[in-house]
A and B are shown apart, each in its own frame.
Chain A
């Protein structure tokens, strides 16, 4: 604010021939709309129209060819009594833990350790290399990662061989083939996939924190835990919101890893709404019902996201004392 006031003082007074400030702003705002037009057109074509189309199809019965038959809210009523649908949402809670809660918490700690301890005691390049290592799973195509983890976790795969090698052969298991272990195994893979994202975002966030804050805290005798709680957490709260929001959306609509690892099995133990919608839509050819699942999922994602943004907005206002 101080900077813009200085600039304004250095370039004073508009000439009488220039339009009044109000008119100028209106004119400038109108021209902004032109720049938004291509994006808006694309949005309507790529997102808006399919979204409306899906909403319409969710009110019909359709096999994918011929004419859809209007059935009103029948698909939604059927959804309410569909055990698989509810099972898929229960599994989503597990995905939220694996893709949001654990990576965000672990990411906070890891980023802080890399930035505050490794980065200072070793060369910054060491912290950067470790950050890249954590981020590596995010670079891999998710289906490739899924296939490789499928190999690792299969009955004669690397994980069971490792258990043998360390004398824990009695624990050998068909990790993805048993309903009791399939979901935890998928969750572990998802934590591995997700962890790099919060680490990178939080480390970037930490770079904008004034180092004097840490130095002052150290001078005052604050240890790492104190500094983490009193400086790191509050300073990077906006990024925490962003990470939590984007990871929540990713967890709600997770599809690729499930498709590559388990196809929702065994016995729906790892089924999730996106895969269930895909299966209903393309395999069972129940396009209307699949659309209803997609619509419900979309609505949930929008509600959750709006909730997050509202919480962030309130938090920012509180910070600014508004």
Chain B
């Protein structure tokens, strides 16, 4: 019998369960004008454009605040993504932190009063003037945590957008011109297919499929659609254009061999390395690849905006937020202000990033300059349409699953639209109560 009890005890150990307990903490930050320490967290790698720029920002901050100690900690993206609520609800949190933009992250924390309202500082320090309306969308959140309106709870200072990367050598080798319209794009892809080359790299198991679908949908979309889809201004009909057209064109591209039928299980990394290795003539993906391609790719390559679209998937980068529990809010605002200075913005641009307030003339590499000019074009025409998985939490996996079905041919466009419509409607209802 004792053995029985021992085994039952061991069993209980084996039975796993998960829980999340919100840490207690908080309290009034009070007057922090005499604060002597700035706790700063971010998750950019040291050699990335942003990592380099933030390092320089810290140096400037130290020079301008003698006697203030900067306690910087580099965190992992996932670490912040999954634990931010607990971290900044405790007394151990930072004074300023890089945090993910969007309803399910910055929006959620702002709705719970865990982030400091930065509206007054944004006006006073001119941050609002430096950011276009579509960049401000991710900085402002309503009292329900929905982005696009309301007070400032974060400040972005770099941008990102989806573009077309192409291998110049492969284009030249097959005598193909760089497309400027969708008709030229399909013609170029037909030529590649005719020569036995799959023209468009794809990764069905991760974000690239959803982003291509969204780019195709945006070809027939306007700002009203983006507002409806992303900001819940009006209900979205998934069986009508632009989403219908996006799904059907995607399926058509698979059928015509523009996208490989056996790419449903591939990850974004597979797609990127195939492009780096010169196996794929084109990929439609984000500017976050740019620095890596620049460092690792041997073939000649360049980028062009997805042809014909005025709206492009893209947004501000992640945000600087100031937790409500910060004991050094004044210092945090000063640091954010430094990261928006021209010197820092140019540094981002010269290291392969996309600054939001840089002067392209100050960017020395012509390819870097083009990346930034393209972003500025999209941003100025209010063309940042955010990302397809943003509207509701968990929608990323819904889209991945849906478009895997379209790639491997197990689902029709109609079925895919059905499979992504319900989770969207459920999620929006969860957030808005409608």
Q: Is B18's CB under 8 angstroms from A294's CB?
A: yes
* Residue B396, interface by CB 8 Å: yes
* Residue B266, interface by CB 8 Å: yes
How distant is the Cα of A249 from the Cα of B104 in the complex, in angstroms?
A: 34
Q: Is B17's CB under 8 angstroms from A54's CB?
A: yes
Contacts of A204 in B (CB 8 A): none
Contacts of A313 in B (CB 8 A): 4
Contacts of A64 in B (CB 8 A): 20, 22, 85, 108
Q: Is A265's CB under 8 angstroms from B85's CB?
A: no
How distant is the Cα of A237 from the Cα of B167 in the complex, in angstroms?
A: 63
Q: State which of B20, B270, B394, B404 has its C-beta within 8 Å of the C-beta of A265.
A: B404
For chain A, what secondary structure do more than half of its interface residues adopt (helix, strand, loop), or is it mixed?
helix
Q: Is B20's CB under 8 angstroms from A176's CB?
A: no
Contacts of B11 in A (CB 8 A): 249, 301-302, 305-306, 309
* Residue B109, interface by CB 8 Å: yes
Q: Is B404's CB under 8 angstroms from A280's CB?
A: no
Contact with B along A304-317 (1 / 0, CB 8 A): 01100100010000
Q: State which of A53, A177, A253 has its C-beta within 8 Å of the C-beta of B16.
A: A253
Contact with B along A251-274 (1 / 0, CB 8 A): 001000000001111111000000
Q: Is B263's CB under 8 angstroms from A155's CB?
A: yes
* Residue B294, interface by CB 8 Å: no
Tell me which residues from 100 to 159 in chain B have a Cβ below 8 Å from any Cβ of chain A: 104, 108-109, 111-112, 114
Q: Is B108's CB under 8 angstroms from A305's CB?
A: no
How distant is the Cα of A230 from the Cα of B275 in the complex, in angstroms?
A: 61
* Residue A90, interface by CB 8 Å: no
Chain A residue with minimal CB distance to B114? Answer: A65
Q: Is B15's CB under 8 angstroms from A177's CB?
A: no
* Residue B272, interface by CB 8 Å: no
How distant is the Cα of A265 from the Cα of B267 in the complex, in angstroms?
A: 12
Contacts of B394 in A (CB 8 A): 279-280, 283-286
Q: What distance in Å separates the Cβ of A171 from its nearest Cβ neighbour in chain B? A: 12
Q: Is B262's CB under 8 angstroms from A301's CB?
A: no
How distant is the Cα of A264 from the Cα of B205 in the complex, in angstroms?
A: 10
Contacts of B400 in A (CB 8 A): 263, 265
Chain B residue with minimal CB distance to A271? Answer: B401
Q: Is B393's CB under 8 angstroms from A283's CB?
A: yes
Q: Is A298's CB under 8 angstroms from B17's CB?
A: yes
Contact with A along B1-45 (1 / 0, CB 8 A): 000100111011111111111100000000000000000000000
Contacts of A294 in B (CB 8 A): 16-18
How distant is the Cα of A43 from the Cα of B13 in the complex, in angstroms?
A: 8
Q: Is B20's CB under 8 angstroms from A287's CB?
A: yes
Q: What distance in Å separates the Cβ of B233 from its nearest Cβ neighbour in chain A? A: 23
Contacts of B18 in A (CB 8 A): 50, 54, 277-278, 281, 290-291, 294
* Residue B82, interface by CB 8 Å: yes
Contacts of A65 in B (CB 8 A): 22, 85, 89, 108-109, 112, 114
Chain A residue with minimal CB distance to B85? Answer: A65
* Residue A321, interface by CB 8 Å: no
Chain A residue with minimal CB distance to B84? Answer: A65
* Residue A88, interface by CB 8 Å: no
How distant is the Cα of A222 from the Cα of B161 in the complex, in angstroms?
A: 74
Contacts of A268 in B (CB 8 A): 401
Q: Is B263's CB under 8 angstroms from A174's CB?
A: yes
Tell me which residues from 42 to 92 in chain A have a Cβ below 8 Å from any Cβ of chain B: 43, 47, 50-51, 53-54, 57, 63-66
How distant is the Cα of A53 from the Cα of B85 in the complex, in angstroms?
A: 18
Q: What distance in Å separates the Cβ of A162 from its nearest Cβ neighbour in chain B? A: 16
* Residue B300, interface by CB 8 Å: no
Q: What distance in Å separates the Cβ of B1 from its nearest Cβ neighbour in chain A? A: 9
Q: State which of B7, B9, B14, B393 has its C-beta within 8 Å of the C-beta of A301.
A: B14
16 contacting pairs across A/B (C-beta < 8 A): A51-B15, A63-B108, A64-B22, A155-B262, A172-B262, A175-B265, A176-B265, A253-B16, A263-B400, A265-B397, A266-B404, A278-B18, A281-B18, A285-B393, A286-B393, A306-B8
Residues of B within 8 A of A (CB): 4, 7-9, 11-22, 82, 85, 89, 104, 108-109, 111-112, 114, 204-205, 260-266, 270, 393-394, 396-397, 400-402, 404-405, 407-408, 410-411, 419, 427
Nearest 5 pairs of A and B residues by beta carbon = A177-B264, A177-B265, A284-B394, A65-B85, A174-B262
Given known contacts A154-B265, A155-B263, what 5 new A-B pairs fall within 8 Å (CB)?
A65-B112, A174-B261, A177-B408, A282-B82, A291-B18
